[in-house]
Amino acid sequence: MDVRKQKYWLAPVFFSLFFVCAITAHAVELKMFVNEPQGGRCSKDIKYAAEVFKEVSNVTVTIVPKFMSNSDDPEAPAVMIDGRVVAENNGPHNGCIDKDLLIAELIERGAVPYSEGYRVINSAQLKKLVDSKSDDVLVIDARNPEEYQEVHIPRSINLPEKKFDENKQLLPESKKSTIVFYCNGVKCGKSKRAAIKAADLGYKNVLVYKEGMPVWEELNYPIYAGPDYEKKIETTKLSPSEMKALIDSGADDFILVDVRDESEFAEGHIPGAINIPVSRFAAESGRLDKNKKIVVYCNSGGRSYLGYRKLMKLSYKSIYQTLFADWKDAGMDVAKVQRHEKAGGANG
């Protein structure tokens, strides 16, 4: 055989092997190229997006700072994965990438592979399935019955993960049916464990809505609300002196969260606080360590009460509330965001 023809004949084979290897590697690790220098103003958002993406997909994301030559604005943050731009500066987030939209974009483009027999979907994708009212789609709430009775997604049924085996007859007969499991947010493992059990039974189209019930509510999507949904709760409050003592102790076992808008946070906040506006509190709750005390505050208590309730629904165990108005009235120090700082930063 002609050596040149042999080369051309081997090329497609080599390319195919390379493609298979690339796909295999792709399922293990993705490289995220960002035209944002290390430690830049948007790097915290991008790093958080990578962490959450890893959590929902079991894929390791490597962030590689790199200025992209194909960007019209060299200063506009953008993300490229495997040579494709998957997200660019998309709105009023201090000129940075909206990390939640980035994660949704990655999932939408199929960058998230099936993991242990299931695939993760986002809020918009689940809403489409719910709105379709298809008999081939079953949405399952994997939480306990009390949580389900308080509030759940319309048309969903309750199959608590701990009672999965004794209630598996509730699953569809057809193994080709679409089954969606959800529970209380990205740190709730019930939906994942239930999904794995369903996949082990032979179901082929198993999905997990990992953002969960708190984010669904936060987006003002339709819900079924039970009689106890608006039941008043009593919060555990910290006085200004107690809050100051906790800060001055230097302890690292707590996180102080300002749930007001970014502009309010920038104008003045309690030193050491991070900013997660209550309007997207559940969606960004992945930043909060469940092993630490979480202290939420706003000016007079309304929004921090909502944040407190969301933390309860997200199954946080050690939650406190304090008030910024009381802090200022007590003459305590107030920090402000400098121009080069980002409101959502860790050190306000």
Q: What are 312's two structure tokens?
A: 């309860």
Would you tell me how many other CB atoms lie within 10 Å of the CB of residue 233? 8
User: Given 108, 136, 159, which residue is the final one in a domain?
Assistant: 108
Q: Using the predicted structure, report yes or no on whether residue 151 has a pLDDT greater than 50.
A: yes
Q: 221: domain CATH number?
A: 3.40.250.10
CB 221 within 8 A of CB 123: yes
Domain with 307, as residue range(s), is 240-329
| Predicted local distance difference test score (pLDDT) of residue 95 | 46
Quick one: 141 and 186 in the same domain?
Answer: yes
Quick one: 194 and 257 in the same domain?
Answer: no
| pLDDT band, very low/low/confident/very high, at 114 (cuts 50, 70, 90) | low
- Please report the DSSP string for 212-261 in residue order: HHHHHHHTT---EE-TTTT------B--HHHHHHHHHTT-SSEEEEE-S-
Largest CA distance in the chain: 90
Quick one: 145 and 205 in the same domain?
Answer: yes
More confident residue, 277 or 50: 277
How far, rounded to the nearest angstrom, does the alpha carbon of residue 238 sit from its chain's CA centroid? 28
Quick one: 273 and 323 in the same domain?
Answer: yes
29 within domain boundaries: yes
Question: How many angstroms separate the CA atoms of 42 and 315, rounded?
Answer: 29
Quick one: 95 and 146 in the same domain?
Answer: no
Q: What are 17's two structure tokens?
A: 């092997």
CB 194 within 8 A of CB 159: yes
> What are the DSSP E strand ranges found in the chain?
29-34, 60-65, 78-81, 84-88, 118-121, 137-141, 151-152, 157-158, 178-182, 205-209, 224-225, 254-258, 274-275, 293-298, 319-323
Question: How many angstroms separate the CA atoms of 199 and 164, rounded?
Answer: 13
Question: How many angstroms separate the CA atoms of 51 and 144, rounded?
Answer: 28
73 within domain boundaries: yes
Cβ neighbours for 99, distance < 8 A, ≥ 6 positions apart? 45, 46, 48, 49, 52
126 within domain boundaries: yes
DSSP secondary-structure letter at 115? B
Give me the mean pLDDT over the 101-117 stretch: 54
Quick one: 45 and 103 in the same domain?
Answer: yes
335 within domain boundaries: no
Q: In what order do the strands lie in the sheet with 205-209?
A: 118-121, 205-209, 178-182, 137-141, 157-158
- Please pick, among 42, 96, 183, 298, the residue that the annotation labels catalytic: 298
pLDDT per position as a tens digit, 321-339? 999 999 999 999 999 887 5
Please state whether 223 falls in left (phi above 0), alpha (psi between -120 and 50) or beta: beta
How many residues are given for the chain?
Answer: 348
Quick one: 282 and 306 in the same domain?
Answer: yes
Q: What are 309's two structure tokens?
A: 């309730």
245 within domain boundaries: yes
DSSP secondary-structure letter at 211? T
User: Given 108, 136, 162, which residue is the final one in a domain?
Assistant: 108
337 within domain boundaries: no
Quick one: 214 and 130 in the same domain?
Answer: yes
Quick one: 179 and 245 in the same domain?
Answer: no
| pLDDT band, very low/low/confident/very high, at 275 (cuts 50, 70, 90) | very high
Quick one: 101 and 28 in the same domain?
Answer: yes
Quick one: 203 and 255 in the same domain?
Answer: no
346 within domain boundaries: no
Closest C-alpha to 181, from 193, 169, 165, 167: 193
Annotated active-site residue 298? The verdict is yes
Q: Using the predicted structure, report yes or no on whether residue 64 has a pLDDT greater than 50.
A: yes
pLDDT per position as a tens digit, 232-242? 889 999 999 99
Question: How many angstroms separate the CA atoms of 230 and 214, rounded?
Answer: 14
Residue 135 identity: D
Residue 202 identity: G
Q: What are 162's two structure tokens?
A: 């701990």
Quick one: 44 and 129 in the same domain?
Answer: no
User: Given 71, 88, 108, which residue is the final one in a domain?
Assistant: 108
Q: What are 236's two structure tokens?
A: 């555990």
Q: 38: domain CATH number?
A: 3.40.30
179 within domain boundaries: yes
> What is the number of domains present in the chain?
3
Least confidently predicted of 7-16, 32-41, 204-213, 254-263: 7-16
Question: How many angstroms separate the CA atoms of 265 and 340, rounded?
Answer: 14
Question: How many angstroms separate the CA atoms of 140 and 192, rounded?
Answer: 12
pLDDT per position as a tens digit, 242-263? 999 999 999 999 999 999 999 9
